[in-house]
Structure 1
Amino acid sequence: MRIERAGRTVSTSGRAGSGRTEDGARFTIDENQPRPRTAPTAAPQAAGGIDALLALQAVDDATTGRRKAVKRANSLLDTLEEIRADLLTGHVSEGKLNRAMAFLGQAKGYSDPELDQLVADIELRVRVELAKLGKYPAL
């Protein structure tokens, strides 16, 4: 087929749909021949190992603990920055203090001693600022 213009096609092979092969023989179906039996399809099987895949997703990889520690440290630093900005205006909101205390209550220990020490230093600074404002979070 050759496309001459949009929407119009021209056949380049003579008559279309003649049902003839290259040597001129015509294709026919013999109705007297028995049809081959089709094999029944197998029953669908459940995907194997899906429990193993779900279990693997639940396990933290080596970078997850570090990522959580960095996220927590950034949250603590952001909260300290907000408290500092509020101190400059003269009034610290109770919500920001409660948020800082909530961040301090989150899980600790990330298996990287240097990162743990850095997060501990940030936590200490948050505790000092909270203590100055009359809030004493549990250790």
Structure 2
Amino acid sequence: MRITGQKPVSGVQGRGAKKRSGAAGDAFTPEMGDESSPTAATTSAMGVQGMDALLALQEVGEDPERRRKAARHGHSLLDGLESIRADLLGGLVSEDRLEALAHEVGNQVDSGDEEVDSVLREIELRVKVELAKLGRFTD
């Protein structure tokens, strides 16, 4: 995620003239004496610029291709399970589909992220259980 279009934060400037209430018969006259100094402008958002650098560093550490490959592997396994479920509901399970799923579950893919890898292992375990139920999984 990148944050772009940063504009510096401008400070609020004070007004030089002050209002003063006079006596009942006096006319309004602004005070021309000491002019108040303008307040210091707030510093620009340096913290926000530092955030860009942190986000860029986080992106460098990840390998997006490994993650995409792991996601494709997980989706493929889930699609295979869905096909087997549809075959079971139809009454006939395709041998070719079982062989392809057994071959695919043997190819483990790591994404480099512990959470993603744990989800992949759970999907692979589910596929192994379903193949074992149908007598097609041997470890």
TM-score by length of 2: 0.53
Query: Which residue is 2:129 aligned to?
Result: 128
Q: Which structure has the larger Rg over C-alpha atoms? A: 1
Deviation at 1:109, TM superposition (A): 2.1
Q: How much is the aligned-residue C-alpha RMSD, in angstroms? A: 1.3
Percent identity for Structure 1 against Structure 2: 47
Runs of 4+ in 1 over 3 A off after TM superposition: none
Query: Which residue is 2:74 aligned to?
Result: 73
Q: Which segments of 5 or more consecutive residues in structure 1 lack a partner in the other structure?
A: 1-60
Secondary structure class of the residue paired with 1:91: coil
Query: Which residue is 1:89 aligned to?
Result: 90
TM-score by length of 1: 0.53
Q: 1:69 to 1:123 in 2, by over 3 A?
A: same
Indicate the structure with greater strand content. Answer: 1
Q: 1:90 to 1:137 in 2, by over 3 A?
A: same
Q: Which segments of 5 or more consecutive residues in structure 2 lack a partner in the other structure?
A: 1-61
Tell me if structure 2 keeps the 8 A contact 1:101–1:137.
Answer: no
Query: Which residue is 1:63 aligned to?
Result: 64
Number of matched pairs: 78
Alignment of 1:1-40 (within 5 A): none
Query: Which residue is 2:3 aligned to?
Result: none
Indicate the structure with greater helix content. Answer: 2
